[in-house]
Amino acid sequence: MSTNSDLQARRTAAIPRGVATAYPVFAERAEGSELWDKDGKRFIDFAGGIAVLNTGHRHPKVIAAVKKQLDAFTHTAFQIVPYEPYIELCERLNKLVPISGPVKSLLFSTGAEAVENAVKIARAFTGRTNVIAFSGSFHGRTLMASALTGKVAPYKKKFGPMPGGVWHAPFPVPQFGVTVADSLRAIEYLFRADVDPVNVAAFILEPVQGEGGFHPAPTELLEGLRKLCDQHGILLIADEVQTGFARTGKLFGIEHSGVEPDIMTIAKSLAGGFPLSGVVGRADVMDGPEPGGLGGTYAGSPLACAAALAVLDVIEEEKLVERANTLGKKIKDDLQRISQRNDTVAMSAIRGPGAMIAFDVVKARGGEEPDADATKRVTSAALAEGLVLLSCGVHANTIRILMPLTISDEVLAEGMAKLERALVIANG
């Protein structure tokens, strides 16, 4: 039987270093909010496959739906021989998204693929080429998605010139001294100095930045962007890949603002661990591309569609939107208490809507200077304690918490206790 060390050696020899792995532990099995590695050690999962497992590992209803689909067929390519689960899922998504009027959807496999196609759709509908994204954003690792991403290392490093027609504006973050007024002023300057708004197809942003550090987009920013879009005929794309499907205490993150996007990208927790993504938007916008211009061999896999339909049922039946808010309050209360201790690493800026929670590790209590080294010590100590935990942020000093929304109160409390011990251990 393989061990973690055996597999790490094989992984190093067989797989290029460009695919980074956070920890040298290898999954053997997983259930709910827990997983066990090849050495038999149990972990509480506060990473959730990077926000993919809102309904947990192997939710029984999701697994049952996939098994049923396996007995029917696994693949036809929707562009060749279509199938009902794809249509049914799109019909349900069209009713759920916060977009007024007729809505249409189409499905893909990954978040980056959804983003790429959202840009294609926006360009086809508007007849324009330019797209404005934001600093600190993350939209994927394909070339256009990397261009949109507002962070150089590691997403753009060594990959040569990025695709043209992409511009960035500063994202408002209080810790960085950037206000909404600063962001909107920078966009107006872009319009005057670099790109005519009549040539801008879309703005794209995350309602809560993911890799950038779990910074929520202020309602004032979204309202300002909506106003600019309406004024100049620009489309607003909400990248809901990480914020979607109950994580933020709403089904979609942008619902906190009351601002309607024209297009939304979705993925991650849509299918409970099966690869599936999508683009949802105004029907007239979505019909912009010509027939054959969109699609993909594995896009909208029937197995993933079956899983996604079950995921939507679970979210509704188990009231995971409400559960996200309950979990988020418990986590924030715990973090506030822990932050008052004098024997942990210094913590600041506890934040996030619903159960999309993060905090920063800083060099001094009451300060703002990032401490990336201490952050690494926290995640390493957490792993040793049996807790899978991720960091993020443009300064690599943000701890993010993405446990499944189906986690029990008992397992959550156990996980938070492990996090508290890790914060003490990391302080030396």
| H or E element at residue 346 | strand 346-351
Strands (E), 79-164: 103-108, 130-134
Counts for the chain of helices (H) and strands (E), in that order: 13, 15
Q: Which of 78, 191, 250, 268 is catalytic?
A: 268
Token pair 């990336």 in the structure block, residue: 372
Q: How far from the centroid of its chain's Cα atoms is residue 201's Cα?
A: 23
DSSP single-letter state for residue 257 = T
Let me know if 371 is a catalytic residue.
Answer: no
Q: Which of 26, 134, 214, 239 is catalytic?
A: 239
Question: Are 91 and 107 spatial neighbours (Cβ–Cβ below 8 Å)?
Answer: no
Question: Are 272 and 64 spatial neighbours (Cβ–Cβ below 8 Å)?
Answer: no
Let me know if 138 is a catalytic residue.
Answer: yes
Distances (CA, A) of 423 to 42, 227, 358, 397: 20, 43, 14, 13
3-state secondary structure of 122: helix
Let me know if 363 is a catalytic residue.
Answer: no
Structure tokens at 349: 């800026």
Structure tokens at 241: 């890949």
Residue 366, Cβ neighbours under 10 Å: how many? 7
Residue 345, Cβ neighbours under 10 Å: how many? 25
Active site residues: 138, 239, 268
